[in-house]
Amino acid sequence: MKIKPEVFLSSNKNIIFNKILVTGSDEPFISYVKNFIIEDFKKRDFFIDVSNNYNGGSIGNLFSANKTLFVLSNFPTNKEITPEELDDKSILVASPNGKKTNLIKTKLSKDGGSLVIECYSLNRSSKENTLKNYIKINNLTLSNDVFWYVVDNFDNNYVIFIKQLEMLSLFNSDVKLISDIEKITFVDNKIEINKIFFNIFKENKILTNTFNKSISSLSDFYIFLNSIKTYLEIIKNSGDRDAALYNFPRYLFAEKDVFLIIYKKTNKDKLIKIYRNLSRVELLIRQSSELYSIIGLRFFLNLKKIITS
């Protein structure tokens, strides 16, 4: 069966399907939905196999109750693997549209026990529904003018749309004026801000100049901080180099070599230090948001110090 991704993400129920295809043309959205699904299976004590290799004999680990979710780029097609063998296996395939994906999509869409989620840019209706759900979950209050301003002017990319709403909720739980939104949520040069992290091996002078040129508002700061969190989550949840590369956003392909160096250098102890710094930064920003530039730059330089040590 098929379901819209924004409807799927708003559900509070456990995922009951064991064959799931996440596809479409919006790759950040695909990655977001994939991670959402993985977290759901983790909560149910599944072992998450991100090796991109199907192993029917996998029994998970000591903590997984012999249950495994295979995260793949395509469904197994080996002739030695029978359809019956796959019936009781949990498989998640997350991959953009393509010939192989389209063939699988047609088959799974007709299967009531399987799920197909297609990720594309949001239209006006889906943005409206996503916003209503976000308001309900986060206890926000928006004036009617603000509500429709958000629907009409916020980004059509789901991941960026949610980030903008997160910035909005950090600003205030009751937003009545459009002018308040414009101060904090417009995203300029969002892709370039997402790339700042990959300058981390350059001299501090270059890092400082890059940061100061790119981060000119509180909105920019939160985009920068959320991008760092995204990369750290990939590092934390990837058991090896291949898994890290598989989970890395494809639209940042030009940065993958630097990312793999960062992945290799970032061990568990360094991650603990970085997450402590992140918590401290978020607290400082809530207390003194006007100092976002100073706090953000200090965090960035400390991040470099930890990773390169």
| 124-184 CATH fold | Helicase, Ruva Protein; domain 3 (1.10.8)
pLDDT in tens, 170-195: 777 788 887 777 666 554 445 478 88
Give yes or no for residue 83 having a pLDDT over 50: no
Give yes or no for residue 284 having a pLDDT over 60: yes
One-letter amino acid at 103 equals L
Integer angstrom CA distances of residue 61 from 36, 171, 248, 262: 21, 43, 25, 27
Give yes or no for residue 56 having a pLDDT over 50: yes
CATH of domain 2-119: 3.40.50.300
Greater confidence (25 vs 167) lies with: 25
Report field, pTM of the whole predicted structure over 0.85: no
Give the mean model confidence (pLDDT) for residues 114-128.
91
In this structure, of 104-113, 206-215, 226-235, 277-286, the range with the lowest mean pLDDT score is 104-113
- What pLDDT does residue 254 have? 85
- What pLDDT does residue 27 have? 82
Give the mean model confidence (pLDDT) for residues 256-281.
93
pLDDT in tens, 18-31: 889 999 988 888 88
Domain segments of the chain as ranges: 2-119, 124-184, 190-308
